[in-house]
Structure 1
Amino acid sequence: MTTITIDTLDHDGRFDAYVAEPAGTPTAAIVVIQEVFGVNAGIRSKCDALAANGYLAIAPDLFWRLEPGIELDPDVPEQMQRGLDLFGKFDQDLGIADIEATIRAARAKVGGGKVGAVGYCLGGRLAFMTAARTDIDASVGYYGVGIDGLLGEKHAIARPVLLHVPVEDHFVDKPAQARMHEGLDDHPRVTLYDYPGEDHGFATEFGDRRSPAAADLADGRTAAFFAEHLK
């Protein structure tokens, strides 16, 4: 487990990314897309778990233009609010460009092999955008926010996408979830799973938001999805 530095697509800046490598030759690479809390211990743990399953995992610091290296704890109210404030300032188009630069770096590290993406919260939204705007091979989004406002991009999704939707998500209300289903249920490349009774953040690695049974179910589905589409 280490940190690497990645050049932006325009070579006008550089940002850090946490990397977890498997014991042997990686089967593929997965870009892990942060929540609004930065590349914190939970995101690094996600990377470590993917590496234990044979993947090269890379988590780019997408907030580097705002506050590089920030790590927040969502169980601390002031830090939760800080994350929400950063979300409001974050340029998502630049974020996708940085994700694309990370995809290129990841693909080079696995000899031109397949690269997937998995994101949480803000990262769940960005995972959907990544599927529509880059050459990613497979994407997973957990409790992505505002995806119902991105449905105009669904025609550009050419490779498999999996979305985990907690039914009691206090950031994504029931009408928004209904719009997601209406817009995506018939898409041949997109699968949505609903999690009744679950709230935003249910699959976090640590802290009060975690719901172990639902997290294990979602993570098992994600593992099967990547095993199928990144082989």
Structure 2
Amino acid sequence: MGEQVSLTAADGHELAAYVARPEGSAKGGLVILQEIFGVNAHIRAVAEGFAAEGYMAVAPALFDRVRPGIELGYEADDVAEGRALRPQVSWEATMHDVAAAMGLAAEAGKAGIIGYCWGGSVAWLAACRLSPAAAVCYYGGHIHEFRDEKPACPVMFHFGEEDAGIPLGQARAVRDAHPNCPFFTYPAGHGFNCDLRGSYHAESAALARQRSLEFLAPLLG
């Protein structure tokens, strides 16, 4: 089981993070970036899953700037609350928090980033504005807005072909802007990686995870 720790961002903000450590020596560090639902049971399980693969996983609580300790579920009210919270945290402030998490993850070696939903967009910006060793972006709805930024590390993208919130044309525009980045689409909707959501698609989730692990291994090892 992981542990809760406290991080301090460059601007002095203190935030919580969930840290899951592997047994034995770590292959590297991996920052796990949350959906709009906080560092909830699902994100902690994702962190534990990557720890089981040999990575030190750090999941920063990006909503702590708004209200510490937020953990939401996936019902309609939770979605509405998460959507209301997200714009209250600026991209710039979020980069400070991700950088703090990267600092801790780097204690295990090279530090990569993987993000889901809102975290997928954050992972893209971090790949462009920070210095991770690699980044994996799952269905980030804002990546399209920032597609003209240039990543400073290898990046992999995963999108759902049936995502009601991210038109496939927008996802393909991201692909076309960065043709050297591995890009995959799946016969699934938004949030297909999360087994607590109705949109969970087990085959797509398993394939995307396998691809992500194969992508990260040589870059973080």
Task: Tell me the TM-score normalised to structure 2 length.
Answer: 0.96
3-state SS of the aligned residue for 1:59? strand
Q: Determine if the alignment matches structure 1 residue 222 to structure 2 residue 218.
A: no
Q: Determine if the alignment matches structure 1 residue 120 to structure 2 residue 116.
A: yes
3-state SS of the aligned residue for 2:184? strand
3-state SS of the aligned residue for 1:158? coil
Q: Which amino acid aligns with 1:173?
A: P
Deviation at 1:208, TM superposition (A): 1.7
Deviations 1:95-126 (A, max 9, x none): 0111011111221x22xx20010000000001
Question: 1:53 maps to what in 2?
Answer: 53
Question: 2:176 maps to what in 1?
Answer: 182
* Count of residue pairs the alignment pairs up: 220
Distance 1:78 1:72 in 2: 9
3-state SS of the aligned residue for 1:29? strand
Question: 2:94 maps to what in 1?
Answer: 95
Deviation at 1:8, TM superposition (A): 1.1
Q: Which consecutive residues of structure 1, in runs of 5 or more, have no partner in the other structure?
A: none
Distance 1:105 1:153 in 2: 26
1:150 to 146, 150, 163: 146
Deviation at 1:228, TM superposition (A): 2.0
Question: 2:30 maps to what in 1?
Answer: 30
Deviation at 1:180, TM superposition (A): 1.4
Q: Decide whether the 8 Å contact of 1:46 with 1:205 is kept in 2.
A: no
Deviation at 1:206, TM superposition (A): 2.2
3-state SS of the aligned residue for 1:98? helix
Q: Which runs of 4+ in 1 moved over 4 A?
A: none
Q: Determine if the alignment matches structure 1 residue 77 to structure 2 residue 68.
A: no
Distance 1:117 1:28 in 2: 11
Task: Tell me the TM-score normalised to structure 1 length.
Answer: 0.92
Distance 2:56 2:49 in 1: 10
Deviation at 1:17, TM superposition (A): 0.2
